[in-house]
Amino acid sequence: MPRPKVLIGSRQAPDLEAMLQNASLEVEMHFLPPGEKLGDHIAEVEVLYGHIGETDFARARSLKWVQQPHAGVEGFMYPAFKASDVILTNCRRLYGRQISEHAFALLLALTRRIPEHVEARRRQHWEILPCLELAGMTMGILGLGGIGRAIAERAKAFEMRVIAVDPEPVERPDAVDELGRLDGLPAFLAASDVLMVCCPSTPETHKLLSHDQFNRMPEGSYLINVSRGRVIDEEALVAALRSGRLAGAGLDVTYTEPCPPDSPLWTEPNVILTSHSAGQSQHVRRRAVELFIDNLSRYIKGEPLVNLVDKQKGY
């Protein structure tokens, strides 16, 4: 039988390309040439490591499986791909460590008022500012996937009470004190001194957090979003910040990216905005390639693949 044709759809570091070339798998491995278009090379490809858009997908006559090198898969949710038999896997379990670190960096910067200290230093002004400790607070985690679980473990180390909700009937890990479903969102929000948003962007989660939801949260609570900006109604978020309902927000993602120049999120004093950087790590690209090599071995052997995506649910 002919060996499966595999295309690496984006440039990798030389050591990672060497890993792929030396993986000793019975495949025909190709790398997309620099500066060339995916659509010009996709026709006979059986396995793609990378993203494929709707136009190029129409030219993919032999495609059977796509490994997305990142966690987010909303870019694949166009009708032709969702209706196809092409398998989709992602890297959702490779981001928990660094994103949870980033989430706590945002939270601690808000509760310890780091931006104000930085500004005071710039002005050579010495001022003792009142700060908060996390111990004893309740952290609510919206979405208990790999990132949510990693955040829960770190919250426990800060002696926080941890509650979570998830749309799926997942098992409660030891780091979570209470776990519910989305129908319990009102009570969950009312108990959350800190709300960590860790859920994917789907039609069901679009602007899930709006005026009614923010108004249920405790006065002076905090919001951290390290998943997808479209989960939040930003007009409602700004209103909650200005009213004092929210004491601060740490946002690694926004509804539109880059964040538009006229967005009030740039200038709200109690907002910390980072540019979708939470997933960055010196290790993540290697982990992604290692996962792909493992999955490729499984594919060749006819074994179940890791991190299968339900294309109808969008995660």
Q: Please pick, among 276, 285, 287, 298, the residue that the annotation labels catalytic.
A: 276
Beta bridge partners of 140: 163, 195
Beta-carbon neighbour count of residue 297 at 10 Å?
Answer: 15
Q: Is the dihedral of CA 277, 281, 286, 291 positive or negative?
A: negative
Q: Is residue 276 annotated as part of the catalytic site, yes or no?
A: yes
Q: Please pick, among 26, 204, 257, 303, the residue that the annotation labels catalytic.
A: 257
Q: Please pick, among 41, 102, 149, 228, the residue that the annotation labels catalytic.
A: 228
Q: Which of 32, 25, 61, 65 is nearest to 44 (CA)?
A: 61
Q: Which of 215, 203, 273, 264 is nearest to 238 (CA)?
A: 264
CA dihedral 27, 33, 37, 43 (to 10 degrees): -30
Distance CA 209, CA 86 (A): 33
| Residues with catalytic roles | 228, 257, 276
